[in-house]
Amino acid sequence: MQVDIVTIFPAMFAEPLKTGVVGRGIERGVLAVNVRDLRDFTTDRHRVVDDVAYGGGPGMVLKPEPIFRALDAIAAGAGAAPRVLLTSPQGERLTQAVAERLSGSPHLVILCGRYEGVDDRVRTRVDEEVSIGDFVLSGGELAALVIVDAVARLLPGVVGDEQSVAEDSFNRGLLDFPHFTRPAQLIWDGIGPAELAVPEVLLSGNHAEIRRWRKRQALARTLERRPDLLSTAAIAALDDEEREILAELKKSRETAELP
């Protein structure tokens, strides 16, 4: 997959694209990311990328021509038309389903918006707008990195363990179960040793019991913290054992709330 990122802050991408799963995807040649400085597509001596808003008001708006020129340059160097994304608070919320859909595109362009806004005529060249959630960022650069990370790990050969991708919590529609590593007993300051002990079942070697405990923990956490994830469709996708555990958990929560 090729990704072109158009930004006024190219420096924000250097380390993140060298690091971790995304860095490895690039190293392995599964992913190529070109970061393009919007100022390189200006034609004036001062490399101006923004201007005041028509109609007045505070803040500057990204000018259309440098963005159009950047898109034309990217298209000229590409075989097929890339899919053009604009990061924007008005966009469709990034979800695992959106990441999966985008991962099927051989070539993405991500235009990074800024706080004050982008000239609306840019939208004539945009296939979709993507938001990463309901909070205010100062620009689209971090959103672009989030999109690249979520999409890159879905490309075959990027994450070492394909199974871990398949088993991912949002794929299964459940939150993760708790994890522990050594030591089994931990003494720390004022925290009681019982509170810091690794659950016995995980030390038992009984793999059927461990699987059931993990399912129970994942379901209990989801019911407690993200009940919105347990839609009818999500419940239908559970296995029989999970549905049985969920029914049990719901029942014990009902009785616990009785006076």
Residues that bind ligand 9D3 (CB under 6 A): 87-89, 113, 115, 117, 131-133, 135-137, 139-140, 143
- Of 57 and 178, nearer to ligand 9D3 (C-beta) is 57
Specify whether 239 is catalytic: no
Vertex 250: Cα angle to 248 and 253 (nearest 5): 110
255 SS3 class: helix
- Of 135 and 188, nearer to ligand 9D3 (C-beta) is 135
Provide the residue count of the chain. 259
107 SS3 class: strand
| Smallest distance from ligand 9D3 to CB 71, Å | 18
The values of phi and psi at residue 137, to 5°, are: -100, 170
| Smallest distance from ligand 9D3 to CB 92, Å | 11
Q: How far apart are CA 110 and CA 21, in angstroms?
A: 19
- Of 87 and 222, nearer to ligand 9D3 (C-beta) is 87
- Of 137 and 223, nearer to ligand 9D3 (C-beta) is 137
Contacts of 213 (CB under 8 A, 6+ apart): 177, 199, 201, 202
Specify whether 65 is catalytic: no
Q: Which of 47, 65, 101, 116 is catalytic?
A: 116
- Of 151 and 174, nearer to ligand 9D3 (C-beta) is 151
| Smallest distance from ligand 9D3 to CB 112, Å | 7
- Of 115 and 180, nearer to ligand 9D3 (C-beta) is 115
CA 236 to chain centre: 25
Q: Do 113 and 88 touch, CB atoms closer than 8 A?
A: yes
Vertex 87: Cα angle to 117 and 83 (nearest 5): 125
Specify whether 89 is catalytic: yes
Q: Which of 50, 153, 216, 242 is catalytic?
A: 153
| Smallest distance from ligand 9D3 to CB 117, Å | 6
Q: How far apart are CA 223 and CA 250, in angstroms?
A: 8
Q: Which of 168, 172, 212, 214 is catalytic?
A: 168
Residue 10 has which token pair? Answer: 């190219």
What is the rounded end-to-end Cα distance, in angstroms, of the chain?
A: 58
Give burial (CB, 10 Å; 0-12/13-18/19+) of 54: exposed
Q: Which of 89, 125, 172, 176 is catalytic?
A: 89
What DSSP state is assigned to residue 124? Answer: G
Catalytic residues: 89, 116, 153, 168
